[in-house]
Structure 1
Amino acid sequence: MNNTLIALFEKLQSFSPQSTAILIVITAVILMLTSDVRRAVVALLVQYTLLAILIGPRVYGPLTILRIGIGIAICAILLVTIRHARVYAASTLAAQRSSLAVILYRILTLVFSALAVYAVWQANLLHLSPADGLVTYALILSGIFLAATGNEPLRLGIGILMAISGFATATVLLEQGLLVIGLWGVIELLSALAIAASIESWADAQQKASVR
């Protein structure tokens, strides 16, 4: 198992920045469209891993592993919380998944997000390389769109985490310091804990409402 993971990691490291950027954008698209919470957490974990690989050549080697570790910790927090808050498997989310209106709404949100990303990417306000700029602007803007349109705490929380990842990536690319990376890691972990608490509160409220 460990050998497989190492081989997969080495394969991902061999990707060009452009290929890695495209894969990160694909994970953002999945997160904006999916209704399956476990699939969303897996996509988020893949996104954190790809982000660490993207910035890896620009920072001190072990910091890449640290970034992946932070991503694993965040996704573990969310997954444990989701399993504990069993209401996520209830009919509320099943209805959302089967609703054509919800699907169309998410596609429309994705289209507006893509247009905004393209406009900002063309302007390149931060003067980043095309690949770095695409990732940064895609994460920030799609995260903001997802958080603004999320109707329950997990989607809202994932949107916030994506936006934070975008800001963190931009900061690390522009200011490649250990303190900066550590500070963003703390912010992301605290955000994940706050999101987990929100999910628990929301689940309790849903459960009490269903009992009534």
Structure 2
Amino acid sequence: MKILVTGFDPFDKEKINPALEAVQRLPEEIAGAKIIKLEIPTVFGQAGIVVGNAIELNKPDVVVNIGQAGGRFAITPEKVAINLADARIADNAGNQPLDETIFTDGQTAYFTQLPIKAMVAAINAKGLPAAVSYTAGSFVCNYIMYYVQYLIDKKYPNLKGGFIHVPFIFEQVVTKPQQPAMSINDIVIGLTAAIAAIATSGQEDIKIVGGTEH
């Protein structure tokens, strides 16, 4: 099995993105699955092109996109991506779509094919907080989750895809009072456990149906 795992570059004036830092620290193999690591830009449109090219090149069995969700306490696998780009802030190229459809021929929403409850249980078993999330927001994180699901719907029916949000790391909250954070080592442990749950899951696939900051 090959699993493509992506992490976004820093955005919104941050100097670091825990998603990318954690992805870069993942093992080369998890539960027998080869891990392919990829940095992607926090840019609408461009992020999809980079991931789409990586899928074509590497032909993975699973794509897991990782993103930062500042303000969240837990590691949160996402259940659903919506066909909406509505940015509170500009992306790293200055794009700030408002109330835009991502793909006019796409479904209103797509559910992940990943065993997210098993992933949460695996993270919790490591003594770390995790929970299923039902909103990936409407920024580039939701965009890339939706983009991969769209590719699955239209081009790669045997591919599985999903998204995991991670909290800030401690370095990011030094000047952000009351913001939750997690150590980068714990995020790596949590993501490794979640990916192991994907690699070893015997659950039946969740079918894509039409009708999740960052």
Q: Which has the higher contact order (CA 8 A, sep 6+)?
A: 2
- TM-score normalised by structure 1 residue count: 0.32
- TM-score normalised by structure 2 residue count: 0.31
- Find the structure with the greater CA-based Rg: 1
